[in-house]
Amino acid sequence: MPQHERGAVLVTGASSGIGYATALRLAQHGIVFAGVRGTPDAEKLARAGGPSLRPLILDVTDAASIERARAAVAAAGTRLDGIVNNAGIALAGPLEVLPAAELRRQFDVNFFGPLALAQAFLPLLRAQGGRIVNVSSIGGKLAAPFAGAYASSKFALEAASDALRVELRGLVHVAIVEPGAVKTPIWRRGAQESTRIFEAAPEALRAPYATAVRAMLQIAQTLEHRGIAPERVARAIEHALYARRPRARYLVGTDARLRLAVARLPEGVRDRIVAAVIGLPRRPAAARS
């Protein structure tokens, strides 16, 4: 879309990483309402993005916060071209060990939050033929062990996006972006929180997993350092928002393509590959002689 024809966009999770890069990129061409959790992040974005970037304090798990954001966007008097559901958290750890409350929190941010935001803003988007971009992950196609909570939330987001795309066909386009490893702080922050949760579990519960969990967290942090720049994902998001013929799905990064290929393998082959990467036993204990 020509720059002079662009309206406003709402981007959640704009404090850092993909959301930050996306907000700055889109602010070069039009108004961006950038959702952040606190005033310091809002001030940092405002300085970096100029007058087109308008920070909003937004908690996607809080219905009242979403309504305040909707009212602020509606009152701005500008056309809403799209929303980018990018806010997310990543908790790692064995599913046996993670408390139910932490599992629900993972889904509250990564799944229920994007759906609540879509419901709130669909009247504005439908009026203008706008677009929804849901930022998922290749983890929504291939669940890594000890990242099961995160992957489950992204699998759910993938399913909801597929359903919404058809339900809103001809009215609002829905796209999903699936990056591989990205240089963002999400896994570093998640590792700190995940370690705290894991170490709070009873020793007997966490002992069988200790070595594998440490290996998985190390792999995640290594991938973060080697990951693609968040600006690459921002470009894909921009295409999904403004291309004349947007795609339904954007796979971003070479490792994302490799992991998708692994996800399509027979389960037995796939499990052996994934286990080998993390250093898990080749066979379940009961099957070993």
- Taking 50 as the threshold, does the pLDDT of residue 289 lie above it? no
Q: CB atoms < 10 A from the CB of 266, how many? A: 7
pLDDT given at position 171: 96
pLDDT given at position 210: 87
pLDDT given at position 98: 94
Q: What is the C-alpha to C-alpha distance for residues 62 and 44, in angstroms, rounded to an integer?
A: 23
- Taking 80 as the threshold, does the pLDDT of residue 222 lie above it? no
Nearest to 177 by CA among 137, 217, 214: 137
pLDDT in tens, 87-123: 999 988 999 999 999 999 999 999 999 999 999 999 9
Q: How distant, in Å, are the alpha carbons of 36, 92, 238, 243, 269 from that of 14?
A: 6, 22, 15, 22, 38
pLDDT given at position 105: 96
Q: Where are the domains of the chain?
A: 3-280
End-to-end CA distance of the chain: 63
pLDDT given at position 1: 52
Q: Which of 150, 209, 242, 250 does the annotation list as catalytic?
A: 150
> Tell me, what amino acid is at 35?
G
Between 282 and 47, residue with greater pLDDT: 47
Q: What is the mean pLDDT of residues 167-193?
A: 89
- Under CATH, domain 3-280 is a member of which superfamily? NAD(P)-binding Rossmann-like Domain (3.40.50.720)
In the annotation, is 250 catalytic? no
pLDDT in tens, 225-256: 789 999 999 999 999 999 999 999 999 999 99
